[in-house]
Copies of this chain bind each other. A is one copy, B any other.
Amino acid sequence: MSSRDEASLAQVLTSFRQVSEARSRSFSAQTGIPLARLGAPITFRLSRGCVALYRDLSDERRQILDVFGPGWVISGEHVDLHACRAMAICESRVEEIETEQNAEVINEAARRMLKRAQAHGLLLGRKTAAERVASTLLDLAGQFARHGYGRNSGQITFLLHLSHYELADWLGLTQETVSRCLSRLKRDRVIGFNQPELITIRDPQALRTLATGATPAA
């Protein structure tokens, strides 16, 4: 290798490292993640952790609009920057991506988010507290299930990154109501947990039935 090649390789590595360092950031639990820089929307991919999008209302009211696990593309282009915030639920790592070069990825993310927002609209508008909690457990299991872990006999175990308070703000309920619904599901052997943080779905079919609001045994 010529000294000139070495020089340009070093240059490439340096610039890669700069980009990589500039574009990848960690956020600790409960910290805000900016969705814009100098007023312009930015986009990133979540590589580790759990991020929530939310909006605040006057007084103490807050609504979590959606919760994302690893792999999701989250963009300031997809929210009202004046009203909407993002925060890390737990320690999280994000990699910023260029808006221009990733247009199709970003558009696809918007369509997925839109469908989720519609399903959540149905949940908030028409489901009972028990149905909301059941639906959300299934959703979180899908995003955070530990693959090949407790998946025997159809059971699924996952880390519930959200506190009951955060769940409540997502589901349009209160912390106490969430707790009561979870206790009920545990008592009925549909789910199981020792710490409230680690949840096992013991009867996925029963949970699905509850989530879709089937009338209990006509």
Contacts and interface: CB of A to CB of B under 8 A. Distances in A.
A114 interface: yes
- Which one of A61, A114, A171 has the highest number of Cβ atoms from chain B below 10 Å of its Cβ? A114
Contacts of A61: 126, 213
Contact of A114 (B58, B113, B124, B213): B113
B126 A63 contact: yes
Interface in A88-137: 107, 110-111, 113-115, 117-122, 124-127
- The residue in A80, A125, A172 that gathers the most chain B C-beta atoms within 10 A of its C-beta is A125
Given A58-B213, A124-B124, A124-B172, 19 more contacts: A57-B126, A57-B212, A58-B212, A59-B213, A63-B122, A63-B125, A65-B121, A78-B115, A80-B118, A83-B119, A110-B114, A114-B114, A114-B117, A117-B118, A117-B121, A120-B121, A124-B125, A125-B169, A126-B172
